[in-house]
Structures are given as C-alpha cells and as structure tokens.
Amino acid sequence: MLSALALARQIENGTLTPSKVVDMCAEAIAAHEPDVGAFVRVDIAAARRKADALARTPLHGLPVGVKDIFDTADFPTEYNSKIYKGYQPPGDCAAVMQIKRAGGVILGKTETSELAYMQHPRTKNPRNLAHTPGGSSSGSAAAIAAGMAPITTGTQTGGSVIRPAAYCGIAGMKPSYRLIPTAGIKDFSPSLDTVGLFGATVPDVAFALAGMTGRDMRVDRTPPAAPTLLVARTRVWDQASADMQKAVEDTARAAQAAGARVEDIELPGIVEEAWRVQLIIMDYEGFRTLAWEYDNHRSLIGPVLGALLDKAASITTEDYDAARRLTRQARHVINDMLEGRFILTPSCGSAAPEGYLTTGNAIFNRLWTSMGTPCVNVPGIVDGANMPLGVQIVGRFGRDHATLEAAAFVETVIARS
Amino acid sequence: MLSALALARQIENGTLTPSKVVDMCAEAIAAHEPDVGAFVRVDIAAARRKADALARTPLHGLPVGVKDIFDTADFPTEYNSKIYKGYQPPGDCAAVMQIKRAGGVILGKTETSELAYMQHPRTKNPRNLAHTPGGSSSGSAAAIAAGMAPITTGTQTGGSVIRPAAYCGIAGMKPSYRLIPTAGIKDFSPSLDTVGLFGATVPDVAFALAGMTGRDMRVDRTPPAAPTLLVARTRVWDQASADMQKAVEDTARAAQAAGARVEDIELPGIVEEAWRVQLIIMDYEGFRTLAWEYDNHRSLIGPVLGALLDKAASITTEDYDAARRLTRQARHVINDMLEGRFILTPSCGSAAPEGYLTTGNAIFNRLWTSMGTPCVNVPGIVDGANMPLGVQIVGRFGRDHATLEAAAFVETVIARS
C-alpha cells in the first residue's frame, strides 16, 4: 500500500517527486485494476502534469481517488446509476475543492454502489478477489488496499466508510457529521450522509484530513497517549463472528497492557433505541431525496435500491419525526458518555464475506452514523483465512483529532501484538 | 393576489378548474411582468396542459413559482450567475418533487440574487416599483404580490424569505431547519440554508406547506387560539424605524385586546451572542461551498458576492468552530424559552427601501435562521407611504403548525384593527 504520510515526507525532503507518486499509482492500477475494478475512470496524464507544481502544498501533490458520487468538473460523475450515464456536473463539489485547495491531485473516480446504496458494484476485494470489498465506497477502499492511490474519499450513510475499510484491511475514517462539506455530493439521507477518508494507516488518514480541512489532525508527530477505551459489546455483539469478538477482546487486553484504561460498558437504553430507528431516518429521507429518479426512471433503478424505495414510500412522517427526536436525545447521552473516552467496538460483524451478492451488513455502523460521532477503522488483525478484521474507535462529536489519536494508539498496539 | 386556499376550495367544489388558475397567472404575468421582473422563465402552456389532471391532489393542480436556485428538469437553473448561464440540471430537486408529488404544477423559475447572496436582481417591488422587493428570494415574493402565482418557494440563509415577504406585503414562512429538504438546491451555507414558502396570507402558506410535506399544517379549519406572545425588542430594536416599532407595539396591544397573553422579554445573553456569530458561520461555509466558482470563475462573480468571498477567505476555523458551538448552546436556550410561546418581533427594520442598490438588511432575521426556528412574516400593516410593514412570529423548532396558528391569529387581529 502507499502511505500518504511516508510519501509526503519523501516529497518534503526531496527524495521523491509527486509525479513519481502518480507513476506508482499508474503501475499498481495497470497491475491490479483489471482484477479489482476500483476505478470508474482515471486520468494519469493529467495528474502527472499537475502534480509536481504542488509539491510544497499541504497535500504535496499526492493523488487522490474520489468516490463517483462527488461532483467533479474534470470527470463525468455517474453515481453508478443508469440514469446518470455520462453525466457531467458543471463544477467540483466542495470536498473536491478542499482537496484541490490543499494541493491534492484528483487521480480519478472510484466505484460506488448504485447511488451509494447497497447494490454490489463490479469492485472486488484486493485481499481476496472472491470476496466483497464492502460498500458503498467500494472502489475507494479497494484502491487503497491495492496500492493504487494513497488517499481516497468515501461517504457513509449506514456503514459505507468503516465497513469497506475493515473488509479491505485499511484505515478509514468517518469524521464528525459535516466536518467535511457534502455540498455537491449526491445526497441520500442528508441527516446522515457524512464524507469520509481512506488511507493505508491511521496516521495517513489523519494526514489527509489535516490537509483537506486545515485543522490540527496529524497523529504522527508525537506517540499517541494511552486513551480510556470503553469496550461496547452492544446489543448486536452476538452478530459478530467469534473471530471478530476475539479481535475486540484481544485488542482491549493489548491496549490495557500498553497502558490504556479499559472499561466494559453497556450503552444506555435510549442509545440502543436510536440504533433501531436509524433505518427509518435513512429510508424516509432517501425516498424524498431520490424522488426524481424514482418517479421518472423507476425502470433504470436496480433491484436492491428499487426494493428499498418501494418499501420506504410507506414510512410515516410520525415515525420519522419520532426517530429524529429520539436520535437528538441519544446524541446528548452518547456525547456525555464520550467526554475524554472512546468506544472500542467491532467495525463490522466479520471479515469480508465471500461473493458479491451483498456489500455486507452495516449493523455495526448505523448507530455511529446517526450519532454524528467520529469513527475510525483500525486495521492490522486478520482471521484464520488471513482476511482482515477491523476494530472501530468511536469518539465524541467534534473530537476528531483525539479520536484519531486513540485509533493510532490502538493501531500501534495491534501492530506490536 | 391569488389566495392558494381560496382557489383550492373553488377547485374542490367544482367552480374553478386548475387550468383557469394558470390563465389567471398568465394574465397577471402579461400585465405586470414587464415592470416587476419576477420570473426568469415561465411555461404557461405546459402548466395549463398538466393542471386539470391534478385537480384532486393535495395542491389541486395549483401553479407554483420556484426560485431559480432549485434544480429543475423542465427548466434551466441559472442561480442568476454568469457561470451557470443556460445550465440544465439533470433532474428535479427534492423540494420540487414534493410539489409535484402533491399535485402542484411548476409554473416557472423566479428571480434570485446571484447565487442567493445579496446582489440586487432585476426584480422590482410590485407595491411600488421604485422600491426593492428584498432578496434573495426576490422574484418569488414579487410574484405573489403581483398576483402572478398563488404559491412560490424561497430559501433563507440570512433573511431571504422573511424580508422579501415583509417588503412585498405578503405572507412568508421559513419553516424549521430542513423541514423541507434542500437536496438539489444550490448550497450557500448548509448549516443555515432553509427552504421557505410564500403566499398571499398565512393560511395560504400553511395550505402549501401542508400539501408539500403531507403534514398537519392547515390553519383555516378552526379559528386559531389566542397565543402567548413574547415581545422581543432585542438588541437591534433601535435599528427598526419608528413606523416598524409602532407596528410591533400596536400588534402586541391588539393581540392582547383579542385575548392573547403578551409579555415583554429580553433575549438571554447567549442568544444575543449567537446573533453576532451567524455571519461567521454563513461566510465561512460560503467560501467553501462556492469554492469551485470562486477559484475558477472569479471574474464572472458580481461585486457584492465577490467582495464577501474575498473577505470570507480569512475567517479562521477556530472562529467558525466557536460560532457553531455557541449556536448549538443558544438553540437549547431559545427552544426552552419558546415552549408553548411565540416571539413577536419585526420582520425587518422598515418598509422596503427605495432603490435597487441593496436587497435590504437581514439583521432582524439572521438569529432566527441560525436558531433553526420556524418564522412567519405576517402582512397587513402599512406605513405612512402605504408601503407594507411585516411583523414576525417565531416559534420553537419543530412547532411549525403551532407557529402558523399563532401567526394566523396575529394576522386576523391586524386585519380587524
């Protein structure tokens, strides 16, 4: 994999040029793209042309793969939807402009499931091509895992950043709700849609987030302090595989041995309740956000999204309002609980399932999306079949840097154990 | 003016057809559009063709004018920006689809200031053509005042719904933040941007909101109960003209005489503070949301928006974060205060200023936008020059129906006095 941070350091000290990094991406793409299918389109020549002039910027001219639901002026943006075949947006979305303003180079657009819902795209998991990479940010996670790019972007409405990161054995982060702007990104459920980032390791993601936002997010300058971790088994714990349960338990023990304070915790009832209603919010809003597509082009919508929208039509406004109210209340409770502490919990139920029928289950992610809390997938553990298992660190809303630090600590602990 | 509710009743009882309503709009447009300039484009023929089939829907096939920052499949959407001349979006935004699903007919696109900021568009105030109609939803407010449409849409980021409604002497509502979805509407400041509606009277706006959202919003079925009104003179009271101060005082007295409980109130310090920082949020986000336009087409951006973005570039992330935090805290305070009560306060500082140099001042609106509270402009009062003065009713977040009821009560009181 390409470490954004390591590449940036080499560019900084003059031992590497940004255009050489583009060449490295191009080589990995040539080698693996036919199997993996991570990109909808790339423009290597344009990236190479632009990169060197950006060496002295925050992102040092590094190439970035952008999920194909982010509007771009330089590439068509098709949302993996037949309705939008060849669609060329008039401009770049705000998040892409943050990358450009920070001196990143848009390498290409990465595969997404249809309109960022759950229909499996053509992408395969670079760790084992017979397995799903997860979704909906499938191409962005796979591109990192296959060494095709050092930074990629995704979005999470259910579990579309953390799950593919875990399945592909890379670092991924869903920052606090709207830390990165969603303007110009195809909406699904505006109360939930959150822009995220992928990289080889946690410090790489932190480097990318720091560059894009101009905020103090780096975690590579001093060794991360030992955090207080709350092991949250939650009501879906028994839906985690034995390997995944063991991954969390082992991580908790190793973190404790390395100096972290570790406590078991049960989530308050209202927070568990909020979990249940996340789908009400997502589906109710999706039926309205995708109204034009649904009412005018139903036959061009795939079976998975089509079935969801058919069903979502009957969600009542009363149920939606109650779900929103409950979620608001639960956010206060969870944020009080996460003052100076971080939850350790599975990133998903298991390693990536075999096959491409589904992109996997977001059950371990939905709550954290609706809570608006920063979440990081920490890679480094594998199961018996050598497939990656991700553990998730969840922090308080707005404490993105501290959450990255806790995740970096855990990543170090895992690497050592 | 065309009362949406009165027209709907006639359609319901068979004494009017929706296509006849389109003809009424067409006549008013033919008579006044050359002077007023409310519409960017209309399609009378298409509206007439569609209307009658929709007679038995919630909106009864009524024609709706849509601000030209709402993406539409049937009309170009130009945001009054040279950058977007002739731009044709691929589909309808979610709010337009709510109108269509409810059986409204899109009559045309209404004038907006450039990218919904403050550059005066060509629209004039139908109450006096030498005066501004306000902005940024200028065309939507003017179209109602000139009888060109019974329902129009707007957006408010500072004061872009309530101010033009007040200046044009019509009813206007900014519902609770995101009650109507903004997906597919050109963003400016996503934390603030709120879709609103215009109509001849408060019950007309309530009828339109009920239709669009499928929520219980009507206020015409029973006489509205006498509310508890908090007269909030606020720290900008001395920026209101003597006529405007008198309008609020007279309204308070008349409401009390009609059975309302009326109390004077001072806003808590943190709420007044939140007022001050609304511009920090708006401008910081605007600089990021409009990054593509600013970085690539600076020369095509007009002087008012251009100067704002030049300045906004230097707002720090620390100031923005502090503003967001303060705003969140103030929302809790204001919502506690508005439990079962409503604020009565000026909709703007005065009647519409003469000339077209500015669209007026949003100082009486900014706070309520950042609080996310429902706001209604109540028309019916005029100043010495016979220009409309609007008073504003503000309710608790999520209490849109109750706020409309309080506003309808006040409207009745004003009409009688």
pLDDT of A338 > 90? The answer is yes
pLDDT of A298 > 90? The answer is yes
**C-alpha to C-alpha distance for A167 and A387, rounded to whole angstroms:** 8
Give the pLDDT confidence score for residue B33 in this predicted structure. 98
Q: Which sequence positions of A are flagged as catalytic?
A: 67, 136, 160
List CB contacts of B186: < 8 A, sequence separation 6 or more.
Answer: B69, B71, B77, B79, B115, B116
In this prediction, residue A79 has a pLDDT band, given cuts at 50, 70 and 90, of: very high
Q: Which of B32, B288, B271 is nearest to A195 (CA)?
A: B288
- Which of B97, B178, B182 is facing A295, going by the closest CB pair? B97
Q: Which CATH superfamily is domain A4-213 in?
A: Amidase signature (AS) domain (3.90.1300.10)
Chain B nearest-CA residue for A84: B90
ipTM over 0.95? The verdict is yes
Give the pLDDT confidence score for residue B234 in this predicted structure. 87
Q: Which of A253, A234, A209 is nearest to A95 (CA)?
A: A209
Per-residue pLDDT reduced to its tens digit, B191-217: 999 999 999 999 999 999 999 999 999
Per-residue pLDDT reduced to its tens digit, A230-247: 999 888 999 999 999 999
What token pair was written down for B288? 């990021």
Q: Which residues make beta-bridge pairs with B65?
A: B108, B152
Chain A residues near residue B84 by CB distance under 8 angstroms: 90
Chain A residues near residue B215 by CB distance under 8 angstroms: 317
In this prediction, residues A238-259 reach a mean pLDDT of 97
- Asked whether B155 and B67 are in contact (CB, 8 A), the reply is yes
Whether A91 sits inside 8 A of B181 (CB atoms) is no
Integer-rounded Cα radius of gyration of chain A = 20
Whether A98 sits inside 8 A of B182 (CB atoms) is no
Q: Is B189 a residue of the active site?
A: no
**C-alpha to C-alpha distance for B412 and B417, rounded to whole angstroms:** 9
Chain B nearest-CA residue for A285: B181
DSSP-assigned letters across all residues of B242-260: HHHHHHHHHHHHHHHHTT-
Give the strand pairing for A388-394 and A342-346: antiparallel
In this prediction, residues A13-25 reach a mean pLDDT of 98
Domain ranges of chain B: 1-266+325-417, 271-324
- For domain B1-266+325-417, the question of CATH label 2.70.150.10 is answered with no
Give the pLDDT confidence score for residue A234 in this predicted structure. 87
Chain A residues contacting B, CB < 8 Å? Answer: 73, 83-84, 87, 90-94, 96-98, 100-101, 178, 181-184, 187, 190-191, 213-215, 285, 288-289, 291-293, 295-296, 317, 321, 398
Chain A nearest-CA residue for B179: A321
pLDDT of B224 > 90? The answer is yes
Per-residue pLDDT reduced to its tens digit, B358-408: 999 999 999 999 999 999 999 999 999 999 999 999 999 999 999 999 999
- Which of A183, A184, A292 is facing B91, going by the closest CB pair? A292
pLDDT of B116 > 90? The answer is yes
What token pair was written down for A293? 């597509």
Q: Of B160, B191, B350, B370, which one is the catalytic site residue?
A: B160
What token pair was written down for B332? 């809790």
In this prediction, residues B274-300 reach a mean pLDDT of 97
**Percent of chain B whose predicted confidence (pLDDT) is above 70:** 100
pTM value > 0.95: yes
Chain B residues near residue A98 by CB distance under 8 angstroms: 288, 291
Chain B residues near residue A81 by CB distance under 8 angstroms: none
H helical segments located in B173-268: 202-213, 242-257
Q: Measured between CA atoms, how close is B137 to chain A, in angstroms? A: 20
Give the strand pairing for B63-67 and B39-42: unpaired
**C-alpha to C-alpha distance for A86 and A309, rounded to whole angstroms:** 24
Chain A residues near residue B326 by CB distance under 8 angstroms: none
Per-residue pLDDT reduced to its tens digit, B253-271: 999 999 999 999 999 999 9
Task: Name the burial class of residue A45, with classes exposed (0-12), middle (13-18) and buried (19+) by CB atoms within 10 angstroms of its CB.
Answer: exposed
In this prediction, residues A70-87 reach a mean pLDDT of 98
Chain B residues contacting A, CB < 8 Å? Answer: 73, 83-84, 87, 90-94, 96-98, 100-101, 178, 181-184, 187, 190-191, 213-215, 285, 288-289, 291-293, 295-296, 317, 321, 398
The 3 state secondary structure assigned to B29-72 is: HHHHHHHHCCEEEECHHHHHHHHHHHCCCCCCCCEEEEECCECC
Whether B289 sits inside 8 A of A214 (CB atoms) is no
Neighbours of A225 (CB within 10 A): 12
Chain A residues near residue B181 by CB distance under 8 angstroms: 190, 285, 288-289
Neighbours of B192 (CB within 10 A): 22
Whether B292 sits inside 8 A of A190 (CB atoms) is no
